[in-house]
Amino acid sequence: MRALPFLTFQPATPDRGAAAAMAAYVEIFDGRVIGDRRRTADEPGGEDTVFLAEFEIAGLRIRCSDSPITHAWDFTPGVSLWVDCDSADHQRIFAALAEGGQEFMPLGDYGFGPFGWVQDRFGVSWQLGVA
């Protein structure tokens, strides 16, 4: 038995969907794609949307998919992915995630060491600390 975070992306333009997010995260964190099944033209959601993909970043496996329907909900900052960064990487990673997104807590020392909280351009929230 194991548990994995699952990111469901709303129907969107290709630059905001699961494939774009997965590619960005793998690049930012020097991760890897484990599996990537895309839909065909005759499947709901459209050709080349992600039916199910799995990738690994910073030692964490994450699954994702492009939903073929629009839901009444989306990502919330109340649920975030926490990353313990090396001190040399936290500024670069924070800047990459913040590009086109929203900073909730800019990088700073909030009494417990370097920390930042950001929602990326895909809507996923990240908390970054220095291990």
CATH number at residue 93: 3.30.720.110
Residue 71 in domain: no
- Using an 8 Å Cβ cutoff, are 17 and 49 in contact? yes
Distance of CA 46 to the CA centre of its chain: 22
- The pLDDT of residue 18 is 96
Regarding pTM above 0.85, the answer is yes
- The pLDDT of residue 11 is 86
Residues of the chain with pLDDT under 50: none
- 10 Å CB burial of residue 21 (0-12, 13-18, 19+) is buried
- Three-state DSSP at 25 gives helix
What are the residues facing 60 on neighbouring strands?
57
- The pLDDT of residue 12 is 66
Residue 1 in domain: no
Phi/psi at 76 (nearest 5 deg)?
Answer: -125, 145
Domain shared by 92 and 126, yes or no: yes
Residue 95 CB: number of other CB atoms within 10 A?
13
Residue 99 in domain: yes
- The pLDDT of residue 46 is 87
- The pLDDT of residue 54 is 98
Which amino acid would we find at residue 106? P
Task: Quote the CA–CA distance of 60 and 82 in Å, as a whole number.
Answer: 10
- The residue from 66, 95, 112 where one domain ends is 66
Dump strand ranges (E) for the chain: 6-9, 32-38, 50-57, 60-66, 80-85, 102-109, 114-119, 125-130
Residue 73 in domain: no
Number of domains forming the structure of the chain: 2
- The pLDDT of residue 13 is 73
- The residue from 39, 66, 93 where one domain ends is 66
Q: Which residues contact 41 (CB under 8 A, 6 or more apart)?
A: 47
- The pLDDT of residue 29 is 97
- The residue from 23, 42, 66 where one domain ends is 66
Structural domain of residue 21, as residue ranges?
6-66
CATH of the domain at 54: 3.30.720.100
